[in-house]
Amino acid sequence: MPTMQKQAFEAISDAASKALAGKPPFERAPYSPEAGEEAPHEAYSYWRSTMRIFLRNKTAVAFLAIMAALLVFTFVQPLIPGQKSPTEIFNDERGIQIRNAPPSREFWLGTNSIGQDLWSRIWAGTRTSLLIAFAVAIIDSALGIAMGVVWGYIRAVEGMFTELYNIFDNIPQTLMLILISYVLRPSVSTIILALSITSWLTTARFIRNQIVIIRDRDYNLASRCLGSPPLKIIARNIMPFLISVITMRAAIAIPNAISNEVFVSYIGLGLPLAIPSLGNLITSGIDKMLEPSLRYQLIFPAAVLCLITVSFYIVGNALADASDPKNHTI
């Protein structure tokens, strides 16, 4: 009813004018940067939503469990009592090397062609390969993010970086990898160097493209007008959008590094046999593949390797989907 509304409105405006008697309707608040940062928080937590979406993906959760079990076991294995040394050569009672012994109770996965225990070599090799892979993933993300941010955010260098990228992107990564490992003497650190030199470029490009897309969105423009320093804009406004890309790149970098290590070992540029890695275990297994009875020397390391790469790939992809804020629905 219009009359009732009118009465109510008059009552309210009466009360308001009494309360504001003599004062201006708005007061100028003192400028305080802290108050500007205080946004009204909803009941939304980024990481909780990420977790919830990730847990919905049953395959990924299963592979996460496998991955965690493998990782824990790989690093706990040397501490278990009764494990053999991966580099010790075992002799039988006559002093002859126990060569190519099939899997038995003594040697769980058999021995290789010079009498070393395959079971402990596989886990030592997994440790080496994972160490290489994690190091590469960390260097790759750190370098890729830093360069990508500079490339994408600072307009002065953008043209130059793009030209440089167009030149270096044309060199196939595999060739670069071969060359670097050909020139350097094989060791864990040179393999890490060779693998990370070739891979960070792609990460930097990914990051740069994402930054160019969101750099000039209105909310960033607003931040810039309000005088936020660039580093703060990058860290608070842009990085949350990039987390999904970064997670995915890091998760893919690990299986990539492992398979590159296998390839480099195969063409004879890998680690020396004294340092077991999945790459040189598989390469020495290849020599045995023509004899079905010795094929276990190839199959066991390959199986462990596949488990690791598949689980990283699947978990990485699921995590990337889950950590993308666009997939978060409240």
Q: For helices 155-169 and 118-153, give the axis angle rounded to 10 degrees.
A: 140
Q: Using the minimum distance from each CB to other proteins, give the nearer residue, 98 or 136.
A: 136
219 binds other proteins (CB under 8 A): no
The single residue among 11, 209, 217, 231 that binds other proteins, judged by CB under 8 A, is 209
300: tokens are 């066991």
Q: How far is 32 from 36, CA to CA, in rounded Å? A: 7
The single residue among 75, 90, 108, 165 that binds other proteins, judged by CB under 8 A, is 165
**Residue 100: CB minimum distance to other proteins, A:** 18
Q: Using the minimum distance from each CB to other proteins, give the nearer residue, 228 or 244.
A: 244
Integer distance in angstroms from the first to the last C-alpha of the chain? 38
The single residue among 7, 13, 174, 327 that binds other proteins, judged by CB under 8 A, is 174
The DSSP bridge partners found for residue 97 are: 91
**Residue 11: CB minimum distance to other proteins, A:** 52
Q: Using the minimum distance from each CB to other proteins, give the nearer residue, 123 or 151.
A: 151
DSSP string computed for 185-234: PP-HHHHHHHHHHHHHHHHHHHHHHHHHHHHTSHHHHHHHHTT--HHHII
Judged by CB under 8 A, how many residues of this single chain contact other proteins? 43
**Amino acid symbol at 16:** A
Q: Which residue has the tokens 């990782």?
A: 71
320: tokens are 């990337």
**Residue 64: CB minimum distance to other proteins, A:** 15
- Please enumerate in sequence order all residues whose Cβ is within 8 A of that of 14, keeping only pairs 6 or more positions apart, or say none: none
Q: How far is 246 from 200, CA to CA, in rounded Å? A: 12
266 binds other proteins (CB under 8 A): yes
The single residue among 286, 287, 325, 327 that binds other proteins, judged by CB under 8 A, is 286
| Dihedral angle over CA of 145, 148, 152, 158, nearest 10 | 150
268 binds other proteins (CB under 8 A): yes
239 binds other proteins (CB under 8 A): no
314: tokens are 């699947």
Per-residue string for binding with other proteins, 120-159, x by CB under 8 A? ----------------------------------------
Q: Using the minimum distance from each CB to other proteins, give the nearer residue, 123 or 312.
A: 312
**Residue 167: CB minimum distance to other proteins, A:** 5
Residue 89's φ and ψ, nearest 5 degrees, are -95, 125
Per-residue string for binding with other proteins, 300-329, x by CB under 8 A? --x--xx--xx-xxx--x------------
- Alpha helices in 41-117, H assignment, sequence order: 46-56, 58-76
104 binds other proteins (CB under 8 A): no
The residues that touch other proteins, with contacts defined as CB under 8 A, are 162, 165-172, 174-175, 178-180, 182-183, 205, 208-209, 255, 258-259, 262-263, 266-269, 282, 286, 289-290, 295, 298, 302, 305-306, 309-310, 312-314, 317
